[in-house]
Structure 1
Amino acid sequence: MSDDDIGSPGVGDGPAASKSEASTGDTDWTRGWQVWVVLGALFLAFLVAPWGLILFRPVQNSIRIVGFSFRDAYLIVPLLPAIGLGALGVWTALRSRGPG
């Protein structure tokens, strides 16, 4: 046993094993369109809905026509995409379980 052998990873140990697992392409980010659906829903729920209320005057006017105050609308309008995001989370969890 030489000094070079001490501390060197064995077969299947350490970074070599994780590198081979990563090269198989079985990571969650390679699933395709499902990832983009989740990211789109997050974008809609956290950015488009709240900032649409703040920046666009026609959206504010339509909220007043419905009868909501600005505070009510700021709570309710982002809730709608959030409900969809919750349903999407359930769908993703069930789909990731796979068959059986």
Structure 2
Amino acid sequence: MKAYLLLWRDTAFQTKKAILLNWDGRLSNTDFETFKQATKQEIVLATERVEAFVEKQMKQIQSRKKGIEKVVSEWDLQEIPWNTYNHQISKIKEQFNELNGNF
């Protein structure tokens, strides 16, 4: 999921950059449209991968004898990375806001 969020951040940056280059005449309308289509395909593919991963995880959980109870007990033994993720995700949000403010 973290990689998915980073993809969105990077895509937002590249899109802002492409818009500016297009406005400045350094990126043709044709190339800009090609960029938009390629970006859309990349996001769609990444979304499909995330959905497939979640579906696979759910099937694995459901196929276990004790299902979700066993998975949760395994998770309890792992170090919880949420504080780190929360910090990183908030940084991504700040970066989005900076991009919007700068362009």
**With structure 1 as the length reference, what TM-score do the two structures score?**
0.39
Q: Higher Cα Rg: structure 1 or 2?
A: 1
Relative contact order, higher structure (CA 8 A, sep 6+): 2
- The structure richer in helix per residue is 2
**With structure 2 as the length reference, what TM-score do the two structures score?**
0.38
